Amino acid sequence: MPGSIVTVLGARPQFVKAATVSRALAAAGLRESIVHTGQHYDSAMSAVFFEELGIPAPTHHLGIGSGSHGAQTGAMLAAIERVLVESRPDAVLVYGDTNSTVAGALAAAKLQVPVAHVEAGLRSFNRRMPEELNRIATDHLSTWLFCPTATSVRNLAAEGIGAAGDRIARQVCEVGDVMFDATRHFGALAAERARVGGSLELEPGSFVLATIHRAENTDDHSRLVRIVEALRRLAEAQRVIWPVHPRTRKQLASGEAGSLGEVEAIDPVGYLDMLWLERHARVVMTDSGGVQKEAFFAGVPCVTVRDETEWVELVESGWNRIAPPDGSCDLAAVVDAATPGDPGFAPYGNGDASRRIAETLADEG
Of 116 and 249, more confident: 116
So what's the pLDDT on residue 66? 76
- Mean pLDDT over 282-293 rounds to 96
Calpha distance 314→302 (Å, rounded): 9
Choose among 304, 308, 273, 272: nearest CA to 290.
304
pTM (predicted TM-score): 0.90
State residue 293's pLDDT score: 96
Give the pLDDT confidence score for residue 167 in this predicted structure. Answer: 85
pLDDT band at 39 (very low <50, low <70, confident <90, very high): confident
Q: Bigger pLDDT: 255 or 154? A: 154
pLDDT reported for residue 13: 85
Instruction: Please state, in angstroms and as integers, the Cα–Cα distance from residue 235 to each residue in 163, 199, 231, 330, following that order.
Output: 49, 19, 6, 15
Whole-angstrom distance, CA of residue 281 vs CA of residue 152: 29
Whether the pLDDT of residue 201 is over 70: the answer is yes
Confidence of residue 364 (pLDDT cuts 50, 70, 90): low
User: Which tens digit of pLDDT belongs to each residue from 342-361?
Assistant: 999 999 999 999 999 999 99
For 290-319, the pLDDT digits (tens) are: 999 999 999 999 999 999 999 999 999 999
Does the structure show a pLDDT above 90 at 2?
A: no
pLDDT given for residue 98 in this prediction: 93
Query: Is a pLDDT exceeding 60 seen at residue 208?
Result: yes
pLDDT band at 56 (very low <50, low <70, confident <90, very high): confident
For the segment 37-49, the average pLDDT, to the nearest whole number, is 66
What confidence tens digit (pLDDT) does each residue in 13-27 have? 898 999 999 999 999
Q: pLDDT-derived band of residue 246, with 50, 70 and 90 as boundaries?
A: confident
Whether pLDDT at 50 is above 90 = no
Radius of gyration of the chain (CA): 20
Mind telling me the catalytic residues?
A: 213
Residues of the chain with CATH 3.40.50.2000: 4-177+349-364, 189-337
pLDDT digits (tens, 9 = 90+) for 112-147: 999 999 999 999 999 988 999 999 999 999 999 999
**What mean pLDDT value characterizes the chain?**
93
CATH superfamily of 4-177+349-364: Glycogen Phosphorylase B; (3.40.50.2000)
Percent of the chain past pLDDT 70, that is, above it, reads 96
* pLDDT value for 168: 87
pLDDT, mean of residues 134-163: 96
Residue 25 has φ and ψ, to the nearest 5°, of -60, -45
Burial of 283 (0-12, 13-18, 19+ CB in 10 A): buried
The pLDDT, as a whole number, for residue 65 is 76
Q: What pLDDT is stored for residue 18 in this prediction?
A: 93
The confidence score (pLDDT) of residue 134 equals 97
- The pLDDT confidence band at residue 255, using thresholds 50, 70 and 90, is confident
| Structure-model confidence comparison of residues 124 and 364, the more confident one | 124
pLDDT of 26? 96
Check residue 358 and give its pLDDT. Answer: 97
CATH class given for the domain over 189-337: alpha beta
